[in-house]
Structure 1
Amino acid sequence: MQRPIMTSRSFLRMPGEPAGPGDENTARDLVDTLEANRSRCVGMAANMIGVNKRIIAFVDEDLGGRISVMYNPNITSCDGAFETEEGCLSLTGERRTMRYRRIEVDFEDRRFHARHATFTGWTAQIIQHEVDHCNGIII
């Protein structure tokens, strides 16, 4: 189900609680909301739809633009720092931020099995933005 976009900065600044079994509906709503906003958005975190959980959904260019979901993502390694400007559906305008060209991420899949993956380029940048949301960091 598509949900409204959260714009409360005080809510968005709260670190997300760990996700677990029972949060699958939130993940589905996150995907539905991302899909509905796909013309202007490439990633979302659960707090952007008003749920304070560590869940992200993003357009994965390495998978042909399919939307992927991660539960409890944690960036464990990064390199290739660069400055860029990013926008966010929850905020007005764009802001400068530091990102990395390559990241490694520990996360759980939809069955809550532990996974580790490496991402580069645009997909890495999207994931970094959404993990920041999970950590209560807004650009």
Structure 2
Amino acid sequence: MKNIEFLRQPSPDADPSDPLDSAIAQDLKDTLAANRDDCVGMAANMIGEHRRIIAFVDADLGGAITVMFNPRITATSGSYDTTEGCLSLDGERPVQRFERIEVDYITRRGRAQHATFTGFTAQIIQHEIDHCDGIII
């Protein structure tokens, strides 16, 4: 999805027990898997769905695709400047990220989680949460 007006709209929370939201999460995971050569993370609005769901390649889990419902960053440390690309945009843009983040989210099974991520995985999650918030790099 390259519709900037659509992508700038914050996404409402999602419910993993809702069949529609569950189907969106599976579609998001499948779409990321199909685009894995060009992409390491996606938010639901990138596939045309305004729901607060992200999927990302988790290097800490051997490259498995992780899905999060309603992710929110609760703590950060280690600010740095970098550049990022996005399937929704052409080229790369400068952005500020954090080396370490803590995230509250809900799993696909409906369990509340709090986890810490670092390095490139943390960067991917921050990019996708920005999408959920309607922030485009």
Shift of 1:100: 0.3
Residue 56 (str. 1) matches residue 67 (str. 2): no
Q: Counterpart of 2:88 in 1: which secondary structure?
A: coil
The aligned residue for residue 82 of structure 2 is 84
Partner of 1:8: 3
Q: Indicate whether 1:93 and 2:91 are aligned.
A: yes
How far off is 1:30 after superposition? 0.3
Distance 1:32 1:91 in 2: 21
Matched AA of 1:55: I
Which residue of 1 is the match for residue 34 of structure 2? 36
Q: Deviations over 1:43-85 (max 9, x none)?
A: 0000000000000000000000000000000000000000000
How large is the RMSD of aligned CA atoms in angstroms?
0.5
Identity %: 63
Unaligned runs of 5+ in 1: 1-5
TM-score, with structure 1 as normaliser: 0.95
> Tell me, which stretches of 5 or more residues in structure 2 are unaligned?
none
Counterpart of 2:14 in structure 1 is 19
Runs of 4+ in 1 over 6 A off after TM superposition: none
Aligned residues: 134
Deviation per residue, 1:91-132 (Å, 9 max, x gap): 111000000000000000012221100000000000000000
User: 1:115 and 1:13 mapped to 2: Cα distance?
Assistant: 27
Match of 1:123 among 107, 118, 121: 121
Distance in 1 between the 2:104 and 2:33 partners? 24
Separation in 2 of the partners of 1:9 and 1:103? 27
Please give the secondary structure, in 2, of the residue aligned with 1:39: coil
For residue 46 of structure 1, what is the amino acid of its counterpart? A
Distance 2:47 2:108 in 1: 19
